[in-house]
């Protein structure tokens, strides 16, 4: 039985809130309008705030009954606008923050939801706020979250121009609505792998396991950038910060959608509360009609939240102008598969594995600039590897955590003209590495992503050609069964299949 937590202590909120209920709100209300036969909802949905956009692409109905069978991409944006906060409210100090310079709006939550009405499938792609992209209409590069400050149209064009993903509709939620939406469905059950806290957001979970988060704690959870977990009696910082937060946000969406469908379809009062919150805190593009929502809802009545696919745009961390940013890695096989799904729904052909070309002439290690990234989850591995590489002559230009911690095989990413540098680095790794060409690595020639198979750096490189040892295994000896590799424990993010 999950425990319901009391309200967390009030803390200063001076940075953008993480708002992720737009998906829940749209799909749930659409489902309930049709499945529940609550026709008064049409009037309330008609009162939702609208925004006129010039760059959304609206598919036309392609069946006789007006149903939409074509996939649609919804851009979901969490805005930190304080416009709806009542200064006289007891909650105002925490929502407005202590500074007086928090005006206008920004966005640190940018997601693309792809809905396939004909197959009852949905996928969610998170775009990290620090992605380094070309901002539409400016010709300059900046973090993607800066595009929203110039208007929703600029953000949509920026996404379409950088990733070639079409945007059909737009949903924006302001942060005051988040708490109300969570409370309207009776809280959200969240699994905690370990006790957790964040002094900046007020998150304070003293137990591991399932906990029912109310609106206040739900907000503290999804906006946590300084997440800490209690492991073996010690509080440990989450080294992936924003990227782990995205994983937690996606998990929270799935859990809250399950909760809302379970509670909402059976309760007209829950629907009424959701609609009341929607008219205060949700903005839609003017092309998304109530009838469109009802049609989609009718087609998604059998949608299972557990089937929601979640992705994060592949990236690699670097420093540009003393600012930490994430470079999109669009030419990787992983990125190509994601982009194909959100562009057309197609799955690309399997690319040839990196390093399939013949060996090239190696170079002096002192001419190779290496960025070391820990993708194994083993604490301190990047530091040890960086020191060892420096010891054999490589120039280490930085070390950090990779975009995720589940790399099994060590990977070397290299720019198109740096294959020789990549092969030289691979020759010094005791267990070798896979090679992957990538368009840009910033100040580094190569990036070494350490996997769980990393065993160290050799004093001398592996010879260019090595004859394989003769096979002396008797034919009669049966092969030993291969045990599935256990997923490493991650105290900062719930397992993808965690349920309460």
Report the mean per-residue pLDDT for the chain.
77
Task: Transcribe 227-294 into DSSP letters.
Answer: -EEEETTEEEE-TTTHHHHHHHHHHHHHHHHHHHHHHHTT-HHHHHHHHHHHHHHEEEETT--HHHHH
CATH numbers and ranges of domains, the chain:
3-83+103-312 (3.40.630.190), 365-450 (3.30.70)
SS3 for 327? strand
pLDDT of residue 20: 39
Residue labelled with tokens 């906990």: 211
Ramachandran angles phi, psi of 281, nearest 5°: -130, 0
List the structure tokens of 259.
């909760």
DSSP-assigned beta bridge partners for residue 172:
77, 283
145 closest CA partner among 135, 153, 137: 135
Q: Which residues are 324's β-sheet partners?
A: 319
Query: pLDDT tier at 311 (50, 70, 90 boundaries)?
Result: very high
Residue 81 pLDDT > 90: no
**Closest Cα to residue 371, out of 326, 416, 401, 333?**
401
Position 17 confidence tier, pLDDT thresholds 50, 70, 90: very low
The Cα-based distances of 436 to 356, 386, 465 in angstroms read 10, 20, 21
pLDDT tens, position by position, 375-430: 888 888 999 999 999 999 999 998 888 888 888 899 999 988 899 999 999 999 98
Instruction: Tell me what percent of the residues of the chain surpass a pLDDT of 90.
Output: 33
The answer, yes or no, to whether residue 248 has pLDDT greater than 70, is yes
* Comparison of pLDDT for 412 and 38, the residue scoring more: 412
> Which residues touch 100 (CB under 8 Å, ≥6 apart)?
none
H helices then E strands: how many in the chain? Answer: 13, 23
Taking only the tens place, the pLDDT of each residue in 128-167 is 989 999 999 999 999 998 998 888 899 999 999 999 999 9
CA distance 156 to 400: 31
36 C-beta neighbours (distance < 10 Å), count: 16
Q: What are 123's two structure tokens?
A: 């996928």
What span, in angstroms and rounded, lies between the C-alpha atoms of 139 and 339? 23
3-state class (DSSP) for residue 103? coil
Calculate the CA 278 to chain-centre distance: 24
Give residue 320's pLDDT.
85
47 C-beta neighbours (distance < 10 Å), count:
12
Alpha-carbon span 173 to 79, nearest angstrom: 6
Q: Can you give the pLDDT at residue 466?
A: 44
Q: How far is CA 422 from the centre of its chain?
A: 29
Cβ atoms within 10 A of the Cβ of 275, count?
A: 23
**What tens digit of pLDDT does each residue of 327-346 get?**
998 988 889 999 999 998 87
């Amino acid at each position: 039985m999950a425990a319901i937590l009391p309200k967390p202590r009030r803390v200063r909120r001076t940075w953008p809130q993480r708002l992720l209920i737009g998906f829940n709100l749209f799909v749930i209300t659409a489902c309930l309008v049709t499945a529940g036969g609550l026709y008064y909802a049409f009037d309330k949905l008609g009162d939702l705030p609208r925004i006129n956009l010039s760059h959304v692409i609206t598919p036309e109905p392609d069946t006789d009954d007006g149903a939409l069978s074509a996939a649609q991409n919804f851009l979901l944006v969490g805005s930190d606008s304080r416009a709806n906060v009542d200064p006289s409210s007891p909650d105002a100090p925490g929502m407005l923050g202590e500074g007086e310079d928090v005006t206008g709006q920004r966005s640190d939550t940018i997601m693309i939801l792809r809905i396939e009405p004909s197959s009852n499938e949905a996928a969610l792609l998170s775009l990290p706020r620090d992605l380094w992209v070309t901002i539409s209409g400016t010709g300059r590069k900046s973090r993607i979250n800066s595009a929203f400050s110039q208007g929703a149209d600029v953000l949509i064009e920026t996404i379409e121009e950088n990733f070639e993903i079409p945007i059909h509709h737009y949903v924006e939620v302001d942060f005051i609505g988040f708490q109300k939406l969570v409370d309207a469905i009776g809280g959200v059950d969240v699994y905690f792998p370990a006790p957790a806290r964040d002094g900046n957001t007020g998150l304070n979970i003293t137990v591991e396991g399932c906990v029912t988060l109310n609106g206040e704690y739900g907000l503290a959870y999804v906006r946590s950038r300084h997440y800490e977990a209690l492991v073996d009696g010690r509080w440990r910082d989450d080294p992936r910060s924003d990227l782990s937060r995205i994983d937690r946000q996606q998990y929270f969406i799935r859990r809250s959608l399950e909760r809302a469908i379970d509670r909402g379809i059976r309760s007209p009062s829950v629907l009424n509360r959701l609609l009341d919150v929607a008219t205060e805190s949700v903005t839609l593009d003017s092309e998304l009609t109530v009838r469109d929502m009802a049609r989609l809802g009718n087609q998604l009545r059998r949608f299972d939240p557990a089937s929601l696919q979640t992705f994060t745009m592949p990236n690699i961390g670097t420093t540009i102008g003393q600012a930490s940013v994430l470079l999109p890695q669009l030419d990787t096989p992983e990125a190509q598969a994601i982009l194909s799904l959100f562009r057309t729904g197609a799955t690309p052909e399997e690319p040839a594995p990196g390093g399939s070309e013949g060996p090239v002439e190696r170079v002096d290690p002192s001419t190779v600039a290496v960025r070391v990234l820990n993708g194994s989850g083993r604490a301190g591995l990047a530091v040890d590897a960086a020191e060892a590489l420096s010891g054999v002559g490589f120039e280490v230009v930085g070390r950090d955590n990779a975009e995720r911690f589940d790399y099994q095989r060590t990977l070397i990413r290299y720019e198109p003209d740096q294959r020789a540098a990549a092969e030289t680095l691979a020759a010094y790794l005791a267990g070798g590495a896979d090679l992957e060409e990538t368009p840009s690595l910033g100040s580094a020639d190569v990036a070494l992503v350490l996997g769980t198979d990393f065993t160290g750096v050799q004093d001398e490189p592996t010879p260019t050609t090595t004859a394989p040892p003769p096979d002396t295994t008797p034919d009669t000896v049966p092969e030993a069964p291969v045990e599935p590799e256990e997923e490493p424990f991650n105290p900062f993010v719930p397992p993808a299949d965690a349920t309460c």
